[in-house]
């Protein structure tokens, strides 16, 4: 049964807009499937409905109403396919996950065929846009048709479709292998010395009495951060870095080769070139130059950080410095140790102040105060009893705006990172309300400050979906350029380091002990420690992704071993990070650099909130000029409209060099 929300919480949430608060969830209910058969049936009925609508659109004249008609088709496809796609990652029943996965492949076949529909492409080319929004809509629509291969000669077009479909299938398999890995690493209590007991005490044990630890973040990270025994850290590190296994390396290689071939069909040398010409960064050359600049800015900091950690290790173990080698599995452990020694801050010390449910209410409260909205919890039957549903409404008018579903805790077979699925995009033209699913994996016993930061990050994506007010669904919310999409979420990460913001915790949980100012001060002081090494790692991931998708399309594992091997900590023989790097097999292929690229914009956006992170006036402007606009204007224009000036990278490089 669903646990009832304590009254105190509900009361704190429903404030001035109580009289208007939506009693139901805006938009259609999320589908509940009784079994795999029901998924198959819904899948087929959705495909049939979409086929009928494509025929109707083919008969539509290429007039001023064509964009709306095309968007209606896209919206229909979203509604019948996206919820099923989400269930692949979150449904507790494996049979349903598998049926959903089979359905995703059928939709892939459908959409790649649709992308090459010549009748629709020719109609789209004839449409005369009436205004800037329609012009941007048609520009992107034509780009998408062309990128799907519609204007290629017949043989190449057929090959393009084969490749797109195959890559989706391989990506699905890649993710499935990670979800189904389910490795358990056995440890004795002695081997877990240093790791907080509540992480492992209740875990299942094998016949020999060993505790069996999984690789979910609430288990994996504390062992890596805290286990005093280096061999224990090494074991769990190696297990984590083997997720997906050899099989996934094969899949990744095939994907990389196929993508290069795909770019070749369009006369392009590399998949990087094919993708980056459509991005905010505009080209491979610009992107590589950007990454070089980042490297230059963090190189010194990285060397300094690693030297400090190595010294700490030598001191801790009493070994001579020159004979002490810092290993990959030492990095987090000594970072935590030095952070504690230097700043006396312990991330675990925050857990008692941030219970998970109240943490969710807290980040909602931040969004409410900043952006003038209201969250109301609504009972709903969803894919798991832990999943919560919220109606989002405008605080002033009470107008229902969106639905947010929240799936907070880890379980076997569930997606193991943190992500938001924008499974329904809004449109003002049709009063279509947006809906998103917020999927994270938090510790039921409470959050660290950095986990609270993750929650805010994901909330940034959810808000981007929920507060979108674009004319067309295809331009809504997170449908922006891939190297801009992380900016709204990264901007918000900063808010947890503001004591004034953290004070809001008591407004949602009167019984929670306030986090002491002194503890936050220490966390603020410690925040940038290890920044050089952290950014260097992100830089490595971004460069690796671009190398994989370069003209050479090199072998995945050998390239990783070489690139990681060239870093100060070197490569750990036997580990296979690429086998678990699901970003690159999915939408972040030739796009991982977007995390760094978006951060430049995020830091620039933050400058407007410098005086007050919760400023409702700045927040309202941000909601209006950035969040509500989705992709109907280019990102540079959105940022300019919000900041009142051209965007620049000053805040970012000032921070890196600090
Ligand atoms: Zn993100």
Q: 486 CA to middle of ligand 1, Å?
A: 5
Q: 136 CA to middle of ligand 1, Å?
A: 25
Q: 598 CA to middle of ligand 1, Å?
A: 10
Q: 285 CA to middle of ligand 1, Å?
A: 25
Q: 324 CA to middle of ligand 1, Å?
A: 37
The pLDDT of residue 630? 96
pLDDT band at 657 (very low <50, low <70, confident <90, very high): confident
Q: 454 CA to middle of ligand 1, Å?
A: 9
pLDDT band at 381 (very low <50, low <70, confident <90, very high): very high
Q: 322 CA to middle of ligand 1, Å?
A: 40
What percent of the chain clears pLDDT 90, i.e. is strictly above it? 90
- Span 203-221, mean pLDDT? 93
Q: 319 CA to middle of ligand 1, Å?
A: 41
The pLDDT of residue 345? 84
Q: 321 CA to middle of ligand 1, Å?
A: 39
Q: What gap in Å lies between CA 531 and CA 538, rounded to an integer?
A: 11
pLDDT band at 525 (very low <50, low <70, confident <90, very high): confident
Asked if residue 32 has pLDDT above 70, the reply is yes
- Span 388-393, mean pLDDT? 98
Q: 526 CA to middle of ligand 1, Å?
A: 23
Q: 441 CA to middle of ligand 1, Å?
A: 14
Q: 607 CA to middle of ligand 1, Å?
A: 20
Q: What protein residues have CB closer than 5 angstroms to ion ligand 1?
A: 486, 489
CA–CA distances in Å: residue 278 to residues 273, 341, 417: 9, 47, 27
The pLDDT of residue 2? 30
The pLDDT of residue 226? 95
**Closest CA relative to residue 88, chosen from 331, 320, 419:** 419
Q: 489 CA to middle of ligand 1, Å?
A: 6
Phi, psi of 391 (to 5 degrees): -90, 135
Q: 211 CA to middle of ligand 1, Å?
A: 33
Q: 381 CA to middle of ligand 1, Å?
A: 27
The pLDDT of residue 348? 85
Q: 145 CA to middle of ligand 1, Å?
A: 27
Q: 293 CA to middle of ligand 1, Å?
A: 23
The pLDDT of residue 81? 97
CA–CA distances in Å: residue 389 to residues 27, 95, 263, 380, 451: 12, 24, 42, 6, 21
pLDDT in tens, 49-101: 999 999 999 999 999 999 999 999 999 999 999 999 999 999 999 999 999 99
- Span 625-639, mean pLDDT? 96
Q: 502 CA to middle of ligand 1, Å?
A: 22
- Span 5-27, mean pLDDT? 48
pLDDT in tens, 575-585: 999 999 999 99
Long-range contacts for 266-271 (Cβ within 8 Å, ≥24 apart)?
A: 266/149, 266/152, 269/551, 270/549, 270/550, 270/551, 270/553, 271/549, 271/553, 271/589, 271/590
pLDDT band at 184 (very low <50, low <70, confident <90, very high): very high
Tally of CB atoms within 10 A around 224: 22
Instruction: Please tell me whether residue 65 adopts helix, strand or coil conformation.
Output: coil
CA–CA distances in Å: residue 15 to residues 20, 395, 406: 10, 9, 21
- Span 217-239, mean pLDDT? 95
Asked if residue 595 has pLDDT above 50, the reply is yes
Q: 492 CA to middle of ligand 1, Å?
A: 11
Q: Are 443 and 348 in contact (CB under 8 A)?
A: no
- Span 505-525, mean pLDDT? 93
Q: 488 CA to middle of ligand 1, Å?
A: 9
pLDDT band at 217 (very low <50, low <70, confident <90, very high): confident
Q: What gap in Å lies between CA 507 and CA 529, rounded to an integer?
A: 31
Residues 6+ apart with CB under 8 A from 87: 33, 39, 96, 97, 100, 383
Q: 422 CA to middle of ligand 1, Å?
A: 12
Q: 650 CA to middle of ligand 1, Å?
A: 22
Tell if the pTM clears 0.85, that is, is over it: yes
Q: 25 CA to middle of ligand 1, Å?
A: 25
Q: 43 CA to middle of ligand 1, Å?
A: 29
Asked if residue 357 has pLDDT above 80, the reply is yes
Find the range with the poorest average confidence among 256-265, 415-424, 548-557: 415-424
Q: 124 CA to middle of ligand 1, Å?
A: 32
Q: 65 CA to middle of ligand 1, Å?
A: 35
More confident residue, 657 or 477: 477
Q: Are 570 and 465 in contact (CB under 8 A)?
A: no
């Amino acid at each position: 049964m669903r646990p009832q929300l304590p009254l105190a919480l509900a009361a704190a949430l429903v404030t001035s807009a109580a009289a208007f608060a939506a009693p139901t969830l805006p938009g259609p209910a999320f589908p509940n499937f009784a079994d795999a058969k029901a998924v198959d049936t819904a899948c087929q009925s959705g495909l049939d409905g979409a086929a009928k609508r494509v025929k109707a659109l083919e008969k539509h004249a290429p007039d001023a109403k064509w964009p709306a008609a095309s968007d209606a088709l896209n919206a229909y496809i979203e509604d019948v396919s996206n919820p099923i796609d989400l269930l692949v990652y979150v449904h507790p029943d494996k049979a349903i996950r598998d049926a959903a996965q089979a359905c995703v492949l059928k939709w892939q076949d459908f959409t790649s065929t649709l992308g090459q529909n010549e009748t629709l492409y020719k109609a789209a080319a004839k449409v005369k846009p009436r205004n800037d929004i329609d012009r941007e809509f048609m520009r992107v629509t034509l780009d998408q048709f062309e990128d799907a291969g519609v204007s290629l000669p017949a043989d190449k077009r057929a090959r393009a479709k084969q490749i797109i479909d195959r890559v989706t299938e391989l990506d699905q398999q890649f993710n499935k292998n990670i979800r189904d890995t389910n490795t358990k690493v056995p440890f004795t209590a002695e081997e877990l010395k240093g790791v907080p007991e509540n992480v492992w005490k209740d875990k299942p044990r094998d016949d020999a009495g060993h505790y069996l630890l999984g690789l979910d973040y609430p288990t994996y990270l504390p062992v890596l951060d805290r286990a005093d025994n280096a061999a224990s850290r090494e074991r769990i590190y190696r297990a984590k870095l083997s997720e997906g296994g050899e099989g996934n390396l094969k899949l990744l290689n095939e994907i990389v080769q196929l993508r290069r071939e795909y770019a070749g069909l369009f006369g392009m040398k590399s998949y990087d070139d094919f993708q980056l010409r459509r991005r905010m960064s505009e080209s491979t050359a610009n992107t590589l130059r950007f990454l070089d600049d980042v490297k230059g800015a963090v190189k010194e900091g990285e060397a300094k950080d690693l030297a400090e950690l190595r010294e700490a290790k030598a001191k801790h173990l009493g070994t001579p410095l020159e004979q002490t080698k810092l290993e990959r599995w030492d990095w987090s452990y000594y970072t935590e140790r030095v952070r504690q020694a230097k700043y006396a801050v312990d991330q675990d010390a925050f857990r008692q102040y941030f219970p998970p449910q109240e943490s969710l209410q807290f980040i909602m409260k931040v969004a409410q105060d900043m952006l003038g909205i209201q969250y109301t919890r609504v009972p709903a039957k969803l894919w798991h009893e832990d999943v919560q549903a919220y109606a989002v409404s405008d605080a002033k008018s009470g107008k229902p705006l969106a639905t947010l579903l929240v799936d907070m805790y880890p379980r076997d077979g569930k997606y193991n990172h943190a992500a938001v699925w924008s499974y329904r995009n809004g449109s003002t033209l049709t009063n279509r309300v947006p809906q998103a699913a917020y999927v994270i994996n938090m510790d039921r016993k409470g959050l660290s400050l950095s986990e609270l930061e993750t929650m805010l990050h994901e909330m940034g994506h959810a808000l981007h979906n929920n507060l979108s007010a674009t004319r067309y669904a295809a331009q809504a919310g997170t449908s922006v350029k891939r190297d801009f999409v992380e900016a709204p979420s990264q901007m918000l990460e900063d808010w947890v380091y503001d004591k004034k913001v953290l004070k809001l915790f008591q407004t949602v949980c009167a019984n929670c002990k306030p986090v002491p100012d002194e503890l936050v001060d220490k966390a603020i002081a410690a925040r940038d420690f290890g920044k050089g090494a952290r950014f260097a790692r992100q830089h490595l991931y971004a460069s690796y992704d671009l190398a994989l998708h370069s003209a050479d399309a090199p072998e995945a594992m050998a390239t990783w071993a070489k690139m990681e091997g060239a870093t100060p900590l070197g490569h750990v023989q036997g580990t296979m990070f690429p086998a678990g790097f699901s970003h690159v097999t999915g939408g972040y292929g030739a796009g991982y650099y977007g995390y760094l690229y978006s951060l430049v914009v995020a830091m620039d956006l933050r400058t407007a909130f410098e005086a007050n992170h919760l400023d409702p006036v700045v927040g309202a402007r941000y909601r209006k000029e950035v969040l509500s606009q989705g992709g109907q204007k280019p990102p540079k224009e959105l940022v300019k409209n919000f900041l009142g000036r051209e965007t620049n990278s000053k805040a970012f490089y000032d921070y890196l060099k600090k």
